[in-house]
Chain A
Amino acid sequence: MQESINIAQKSPSRSARFKRFWRRVKIPLMFMAPFWIVFLAFFIIPICYAVYESLYKTVRSGLGLGPPSVVFAGFENYAQILHDTNFSTSLLRMLLFGIVQVPIMLVVALILALLMDSAVVRFKTFFRLSFFVPYAIPGIVAALLWGFLYDPGVSPVVALIHNLGLHNFNFLGSNSILWSMANIVTWEWTGYNMIIIFAGLQAIPQELYEASRVDGSTGLDVVRYIKIPLVAPAIVLTAIFSIIGTLQIFSEPSILRTISSNVTSSFTPNYYVYNVAFVNNNFQYSAALAVVLAIVTFVFSFGFLRLTQRQAGLE
Chain B
Amino acid sequence: MPHSSHRLIPSTSSGRLPNKLPNKLLFSIFGVLIITLSACGGASSAASSGPVTLTFWSWVPNLQPVVDSWNATHPNIQVKFSEVTSGQGGTYAKMFTAIKAKNAPDLGQIEYQFLPTFEGTGGLADISQYIPAGTSSKFVGWTWNQVTQGKAVYAVPQDTGPMALFYRKDLFTKYNISVPTTWAEYADAAAKLHAANPSCYITNFGATDPGWIIGLMWQAGGRWFRVNNNAWTVGINDTASQQVANYWQGLVDQKLVKTDADWSDAWYKDLDNCGSSTWVSAAWGANTIISNAPDTKGDWAVAPMPQWTAGGQVAGNWGGSSTVVFKDSAHPKEAAEFALWLNSTTQPVELMVKGAQLYPALTSELSSPAVNTPSDFYGGQVVNQVFGQVSSQVDTQFQWGPTMDQVFTDMNDALGAAVSGNGTLSQALDTVQTKTVNAMKAAGISVNG
Give the residues in chain B near A68, CB-CB below 8 Å: 120-122
Query: Which stretch (A131-139, A243-251, A273-281) binds chain B?
Result: A273-281
Residues 293-346 of B contacting A (Cβ, < 8 Å): none
**Chain B residues, CB < 8 A from A34:** 29, 33
Chain B residues in 8 Å Cβ range of A173: 420
Contact A63 B227 (CB under 8 A): yes
A63 touches B231 (CB 8 A): yes
Interface string of A35-49 (1 = CB under 8 A from B): 001100100000000
A261 touches B415 (CB 8 A): yes
B386 → chain A closest CB, angstroms: 29
Residues of chain A contacted by B33 (CB below 8 angstroms)? 33-34, 37-38
Q: Identify the closest chain A residue to B327 (Cβ).
A: A67
Q: Taking the complex as formed, is A154 at the interface, i.e. its CB lies under 8 A from any CB of chain B? A: yes
B14-A152 in contact (CB<8A): no
Contact B265 A275 (CB under 8 A): no
> Complex: how many Å from CA A279 to CA B264?
19
Q: Are A60 and B409 in contact (CB under 8 A)?
A: no
Q: What residues of chain A lie closer than 8 Å to B227, measured between beta carbons? A: 63
Q: How far is the CA of A38 from the CA of B40 in the complex (A)?
A: 13
Is A3 part of the contact surface with B, judged by Cβ < 8 Å? yes
Whether the pair B444, A279 counts as a contact (CB closer than 8 A) is no
In the complex, which residues of chain A have a beta carbon less than 8 angstroms from the beta carbon of B406? 280
Which B-chain residue is minimally distant from A58 (CB atoms)?
A: B443
B327 to chain A, nearest CB (A): 9
Which residues of B lie under 8 Å from residue A265 when comparing CB positions? 409, 412-413
CA A67 to CA B121, docked complex, whole Å:
6
> Assuming A30-B25, A279-B93, is B121 touching A152 (CB within 8 A)?
no
CA of A190 to CA of B412, assembled, Å: 33
Answer whether residue A120 sits at the interface, using C-beta atoms and an 8 A cutoff: no
Does A29 reach chain B (CB closer than 8 Å)?
A: yes
CB-defined contacts of A261 to chain B, threshold 8 Å: 206-208, 259, 261, 412, 415-416, 419-420
Structural contact, A65 and B119, CB atoms closer than 8 A: yes
Q: Which residues from B are CB-within-8-Å of A148?
A: 265
A65 touches B22 (CB 8 A): no
Contacting residues, chain A, for B92 (C-beta < 8 A): 279
Complex CA gap A58/B149 in Å reads 21
A65 CA to B121 CA, complexed, in Å: 8
A59–B264 CB distance below 8 A:
no
List the count of A-B residue pairs having beta carbons below 8 Å apart.
147
- Which residues of B have CB within 8 Å of A63? 227, 230-232, 402, 445-446
Query: A19-27, A110-118, A213-221, A296-304: which lies at the B interface?
Result: A19-27
Q: Of all chain B residues, which has the CB nearest A86? A: B413
Binds A, one of B175-183, B266-274, B283-291, B347-355: B266-274
B416, A64: Cβ atoms closer than 8 Å: no
For chain B, residues 95 to 139, give those with C-beta under 8 angstroms from any C-beta of chain A: 96-97, 100, 116-117, 119-122
The verdict on A56 contacting chain B, using a C-beta distance below 8 Å, is: no
Q: Which B residues are in CB contact (< 8 Å) with A37?
A: 30, 33, 37
Residues of B within 8 A of A266 (CB): 413
**A-facing residues in B411-427 (Cβ within 8 Å):** 412-413, 415-417, 419-422
CA distance A130 to B162 in the complex (A): 54
Residue of B nearest to A38 (CB): B33
**What residues of chain B lie closer than 8 Å to A205, measured between beta carbons?**
none
Question: Of B37, B260, B416, B422, which contacts A153 at CB under 8 A?
Answer: B260
User: B430 at interface (Cβ–Cβ under 8 A)?
Assistant: no
> What 0/1 pattern do residues 160 to 178 of A give for CB contact below 8 A with B?
0000000000000110000
**Which residue in chain B gives the minimum CB-CB distance to A3?**
B14
Task: Give every chain A residue within 8 A of B402 (Cβ-Cβ).
Answer: 60, 63-65
* A residues near B409, Cβ cutoff 8 Å: 265, 275, 279-280
Contacts of A24 in B (CB 8 A): 13
Q: Which residues of B contact A (CB under 8 A)?
A: 13-14, 17, 19, 22-23, 25-26, 29-30, 33, 37, 92-94, 96-97, 100, 116-117, 119-122, 149, 206-208, 227, 230-232, 259-261, 263-270, 275, 402-403, 405-406, 409, 412-413, 415-417, 419-422, 440, 442-446
A-B pairs, 6 with minimum CB distance: A153-B266, A67-B122, A261-B416, A64-B445, A64-B402, A278-B93
21 A-B pairs in the complex with CB atoms less than 8 angstroms apart: A27-B22, A29-B26, A33-B26, A37-B37, A41-B37, A64-B120, A68-B122, A153-B268, A153-B275, A154-B266, A174-B422, A257-B208, A258-B263, A259-B261, A259-B265, A260-B261, A260-B264, A261-B206, A261-B415, A261-B419, A281-B405
- The chain A residues found within 8 Å of chain B, CB to CB, are 3, 23-24, 26-27, 29-30, 33-34, 37-38, 41, 58-68, 80, 148, 151-154, 173-174, 257-266, 275, 278-281, 283
